[in-house]
Structure 1
Amino acid sequence: MGLAWQQGPLSGRAVGRFLLPQPMPERLLFAERLRRRMRVRFGGEWIADSEDVLLLHEPGRYPVAYFPLASVREGALVSTTRTTRHRELGDTTWFTVEAGGGYAERAAWEHTGPPAHADEFEGRVAFAWRAMDAFYEEDERIVGHAADPYHRIDIRRATRHLRVLDGDRVVADTTRPLALYESGFAPRWYVPPEDVDMAALTPADGQTFCPYKGLAGYYDIGSRTGAAWSYPEAWPEVARISGFISFEPDKVDVFLDGARLRLEPGQTVVPHGLDRGLDVDEITKPLT
């Protein structure tokens, strides 16, 4: 999922490999200019605004945005006595963030002694994502984490024959599925609800949030819990799958052109929590 997350090339669990004679380092960090204007809001006020944001890709983590200290509102960062050490970037100083009556402890940090090969982090600060009110690119809110420019979703129309069985019961049968290709994942197949026996699906408790697709609801199929899911109102970029249903091949029998699908290694998704101040109603609508 992106460059350093899930099965991305720098994640430590890459689905592919670099063609080198010697093994890659166990951990490899990558930093790049975001080349987008990014802003941070806290306490109802703008506390950071920059077109010179540095994005850090660290194995097994979402991208993190670092702002020049000069782009941070004066007085928003309050020094604390807390210090830690990052294994690659060195000593780290932590700040309390204050603005507009808001107060968040240990909500920002600066690597105060980066090594020479990472000196672009000097004089930069990052903000804890969920501790802030919101992050924006230009005037549009982004959620979940800093946008990963290496994460991509493509949706393709198909005429392949997809069947879903619960024992002898046919749960879905279609020749018009949508194939969803997402960075770091094997293809997922989405079925039009008209081609699903909805009586076989029982809405399940709980929802998960994807920063790229929106809010997903789940279904049980007989005794198979969470065997199917759907994005009732997927975000505009992936609106084609709204209301379509996908099935988990390790929980229910899914056949594509007669071949049974299996859950591939690394396919399991790590649930992503909601951002601070972001409720379910807001997620199901275009963000502004």
Structure 2
Amino acid sequence: MTMALRMQDQISRLREHLRYEPTAKRIRGEALGDLIVDSRRTVLVWEAGTLVPVYAVPAADITAELLPVAAENSRRGSAFHRGHGAGQEFTLRTPGGELPAAAFVADDPELSAYVLLEYGAFDRWREDEEPVDGHPRDPFHRVDARASGQRMKVEFEGRVIAETQQPVLVYETMLPVRAYFPRSDVDFSLLEPSDRQSICPYKGHASYWSVRNAGPKGRNIAWSYEEPLPDANPIKGLIAFYDERTDIHNLG
């Protein structure tokens, strides 16, 4: 008798392998003042043990010269020193300079026709005409924001920071459900803006909030997306709190 398989278990097992998936999007990468990558034949590659993919394109879609990196000169902290398997690392040389060890060709027969590219070595990436921030987007990753009628309350060390009956719940693949609170239901007398910023390729740029006079425990416990990407527009300007560092109560 065949038994049903839980999808999350199967996805978790796949993480142990080098994986790839073609994308139909036009991918462009710029660095040192040059357009170095322009491809409609990109594949996304996930190294073993990771969730975040990298772009890989045929060498013909790269305008830079590929210079092999000798094994003894290979950077120990390179993006290609973990789960991409055996292969050859390359430096990309352009008229504007070099991107050291920013490319890799795997020995794997499914990927040997592609050059894997280190996302962080480039100044700018675009999918079609849209900028990509943070890392390449995973086509199997979803972010679903849903209005809720649940009554929810956030406390920090016994103080109520927020309470609402109209949160927006964000269901994101392989991540905890996050509750976003309307600003009108947050006590900002207890919070102060933080200098911290972060980038999510799916939601956009986040700014953070800390609890006033609470020391390290209260630092950066909340965040908001003031100008989210289109797919995350339902959470624009709302405030979310770390469940791990505050007490969030679902009151029904």
Aligned to 1:279: none
Aligned to 2:141: 151
Sort the Cα spacing of 1:26 and 1:145 in 2 relative to 1 into closer, same or farther, 3 A. Answer: closer
Matches within 5 A, 1:121-270: 121-222=111-212, 223=214, 224-257=218-251
CA positional deviation for 1:78: 2.4
Q: Secondary structure at the match of 1:17?
A: helix
1:30 to 8, 13, 19: 19
Query: Are residue 107 (structure 1) and residue 102 (structure 2) matched?
Result: yes
Distance 1:253 1:241 in 2: 21
Sort the Cα spacing of 1:144 and 1:175 in 2 relative to 1 into closer, same or farther, 3 A. Answer: same
CA positional deviation for 1:69: 1.4
Distance 1:158 1:227 in 2: 22
CA positional deviation for 1:61: 4.4
Distance 1:27 1:168 in 2: 42
Q: Does the 8 Å CA contact 1:164/1:255 hold for their aligned counterparts?
A: yes
Q: Percent identity?
A: 32
The residue type paired with residue 172 of structure 1 is A
CA positional deviation for 1:192: 0.5
Aligned to 1:57: 46
Q: Does the 8 Å CA contact 1:47/1:76 hold for their aligned counterparts?
A: no
Sort the Cα spacing of 1:90 and 1:237 in 2 relative to 1 into closer, same or farther, 3 A. Answer: closer
Distance 2:15 2:130 in 1: 36
The residue type paired with residue 66 of structure 2 is L
Q: Does the 8 Å CA contact 2:171/2:178 hold for their aligned counterparts?
A: yes
Sort the Cα spacing of 1:91 and 1:253 in 2 relative to 1 into closer, same or farther, 3 A. Answer: closer
Deviations 1:45-98 (A, max 9, x none): 22222222122122224112211112222x532233237797876532222212
- Give the TM-score taking structure 1 as reference length: 0.73
Sort the Cα spacing of 1:218 and 1:86 in 2 relative to 1 into closer, same or farther, 3 A. Answer: closer
Q: Secondary structure at the match of 1:123?
A: coil
Distance 2:179 2:159 in 1: 19
Q: Does the 8 Å CA contact 1:42/1:102 hold for their aligned counterparts?
A: no
Query: Are residue 97 (structure 1) and residue 92 (structure 2) matched?
Result: yes
Structure 2 unaligned regions, length at least 5: 1-5, 75-79
- Give the TM-score taking structure 2 as reference length: 0.82
Q: Does the 8 Å CA contact 2:149/2:167 hold for their aligned counterparts?
A: yes
CA positional deviation for 1:216: 1.8
Question: What number of residue pairs does the alignment pair up?
Answer: 236
